[in-house]
């Protein structure tokens, strides 16, 4: 009951706050005036967004929040991280509680249109997978007929699961859960045979177990889950800022700009696109209402896309994800940023 009261109030404030937002003031201006970026992240998924031992948020999604703050303020620390659950994240965004949602959120038709989100791109190309214990003796998702499966509610994965089992003529019992932490606990207690969510999320969840070696992620990937940052529908200027900050990180990797050589390249690079990106020539920043060195600051926040990937979820981390689809287009991946011109 508490929860519904809360959601009700949230819905009500959504509408009240929605007005303030709809009337004129742009999100970029609001953020600048506030001096801080309110970034909606997940409640705790190590590698993507979770507070570390000293309470600082770290991770792949967090790094993008930092880059956006870097682009706007020239200071990557000016972010307030707001944990959102799979069920309240969109409400948080439409209500104006957060400026930006970067929370393993899949870009879908209805979210983009009916839910009035705007997805500005994809920061991780993913798909849905299953995780089981080794001793269950299962090696394929097709063997899960009759299984009990833990599933986070309010997600795309919940709907994919239903479709997948029906398409394969199998049955299952769903154990609905609210947060990843709860799912982890239920799964470890054996209340479900399998845990399903985005494959990256499974890898991250498994890395946090005491005995990761006793769990396998099954080979089947049953859906497309392009995960990306979302902003409120109807404020294209703000969408541009986030979209191009993300593109800047990808372009930086493509051009070999790293946190180590960025200051040097900013002064010495002869590549015209690098010059435009780093603000040495032209002034792209002015076109999106930012300083000329916006991209430089964004990249300095945590390095280029590849550096962020390697530091947070890459193969040298406990999570150990390969680049796969998330490699540059020149490396056979899907990362392909439009030109900075």
Partner 1 sequence: MAVVTEEPKAGFRLGMLIYDTRYRSITIQIVVLMLVMLGAAWLIDNLLSNLAALGRGIDFGFLWNRAGYDINQTLVEYTNDSTHARATLVGLLNTLLIAFLGCIAATVVGVIAGVLRLSNNWVIARLMTVYVEIFRNIPLLLWILMIYTIFTEAFPAPNAFRGETPAASMVMFDTVAFTNRYTAIPWLMFDRSLGWLPLGPLWLNLDLTAIVAALVGGFLLNRYILRRATRIQEATGLRPTTWWQCMLALFGPIILVLLALGTHLDSPSLQGFNFTGGLQVSNSLVALWLALTLYTAAFIAEIVRAGINAISRGQSEAAFALGLRPGRTMNLIILPQALRVIIPPLISQYLNLTKNSSLAIAVGYMDLRGTLGGITLNQTGRGLEAMMLLMLIYLIVSLLISSAMNVYNNRVKLKER
Minimum distance between the CB of residue 104 and ligand GSH, rounded to whole angstroms?
4
Written as one string, the DSSP assignment of 41-58 is E-S-BTTTBEE-TTS-EE
The least CB distance from residue 59 to ligand GSH, in Å, is: 11
| Cβ nearer to ligand GSH, comparing 208 with 292 | 208
Burial class (CB in 10 A: 0-12, 13-18, 19+), 181: middle
Residue with tokens 């396998």: 216
- Give the footprint of ligand GSH on this chain (CB under 6 A): 42-45, 85-86, 104-106, 152, 155-157, 179-180, 197-198, 201, 225, 227
For 176, the enclosing helix (H) or strand (E) is strand 172-177
The option from partner 1, ligand GSH, none interacting with 104 (CB < 5 to 8 A, set by class) reads: ligand GSH
Report 66-125 residues binding partner 1 (CB under 8 A): 86-87, 90-91, 94, 110-111, 114-116
Which 132-191 positions form the footprint of partner 1 (CB under 8 A)?
Answer: 136, 144-148, 153-154, 158-159, 161-163, 165-166, 172-178, 186, 189-191
**Nearest approach, Cβ of 239 to ligand GSH (angstroms)?**
18
> Applying CB under 8 A, does 340 fall inside the site for partner 1?
no
Please report how the helices 294-302 and 236-254 are oriented relative to each other, as an axis angle in degrees rounded to 10.
60
- Cβ proximity to ligand GSH, 85 vs 304, nearer residue: 85
Query: Would you state the structure tokens that stand for residue 245, as one six-digit string?
Result: 């900050």
| Residue 177 binding target from ligand GSH, partner 1, none, CB below 5 to 8 Å by type | partner 1
320's CB contacts (< 8 A; 6+ apart) are: 203, 207, 314
State the binding partner of 180 from partner 1, ligand GSH, none, CB within 5 to 8 A by kind: ligand GSH
Would you give the binding string for partner 1 spanning residues 223-242, x where CB under 8 A is met? Answer: ----------xx--------
Query: What is the C-alpha to C-alpha distance for residues 250 and 336, in angstroms, rounded to an integer?
Result: 8
Quote the least distance from Cβ 171 to partner 1, whole Å.
9
Q: Is residue 233 exposed (0-12), middle (13-18) or buried (19+ Cβ within 10 Å)?
A: middle
- Which neighbouring-strand residues pair with 216? 132
Q: Which two tokens stand for residue 194?
A: 């399998």
């Amino acid at each position: 009951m508490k929860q519904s009261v809360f959601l009700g109030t949230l819905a009500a404030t959504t509408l009240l706050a929605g007005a303030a937002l709809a009337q004129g003031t742009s999100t970029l201006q609001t953020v600048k005036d506030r001096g801080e970026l309110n970034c909606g992240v997940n409640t705790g998924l190590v590698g993507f967004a979770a507070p570390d031992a000293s309470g600082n948020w770290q991770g792949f999604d967090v790094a993008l929040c930092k880059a956006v703050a870097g682009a706007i303020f020239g200071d990557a620390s000016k972010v307030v991280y707001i944990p959102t659950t799979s069920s309240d994240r969109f409400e948080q965004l439409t209500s104006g509680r957060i400026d930006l949602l970067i929370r393993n959120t899949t870009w879908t038709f209805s979210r983009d249109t009916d839910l009035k989100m705007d997805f500005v791109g994809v920061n991780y190309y993913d798909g849905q997978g299953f995780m089981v214990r080794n001793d269950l003796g299962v090696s394929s998702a097709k063997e899960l007929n009759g299984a009990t499966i833990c599933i986070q509610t309010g997600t795309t994965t919940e709907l994919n699961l239903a479709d997948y089992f029906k398409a394969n003529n199998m049955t299952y019992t769903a154990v609905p859960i609210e947060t990843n932490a709860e799912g982890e606990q239920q799964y470890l207690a054996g209340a479900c045979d399998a845990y399903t969510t985005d494959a990256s999320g499974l890898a991250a969840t498994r890395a946090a177990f005491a005995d990761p070696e006793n769990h396998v992620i099954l080979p089947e990937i049953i859906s497309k889950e392009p995960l990306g940052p979302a902003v409120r529908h109807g404020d294209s200027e703000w969408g541009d800022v986030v979209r191009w900050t993300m593109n800047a990180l990808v372009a930086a990797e493509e051009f070999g700009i790293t946190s180590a050589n960025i200051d040097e390249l900013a002064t010495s690079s002869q590549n015209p696109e690098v010059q435009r990106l780093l603000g040495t020539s032209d002034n792209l920043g002015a076109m999106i209402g930012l300083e000329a060195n916006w991209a430089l600051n964004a990249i300095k926040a945590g390095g280029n896309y590849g550096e962020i990937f390697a530091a947070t979820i890459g193969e040298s981390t406990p999570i150990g994800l390969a680049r796969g689809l998330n490699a540059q287009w020149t490396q056979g991946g899907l990362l392909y940023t439009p030109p900075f011109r």
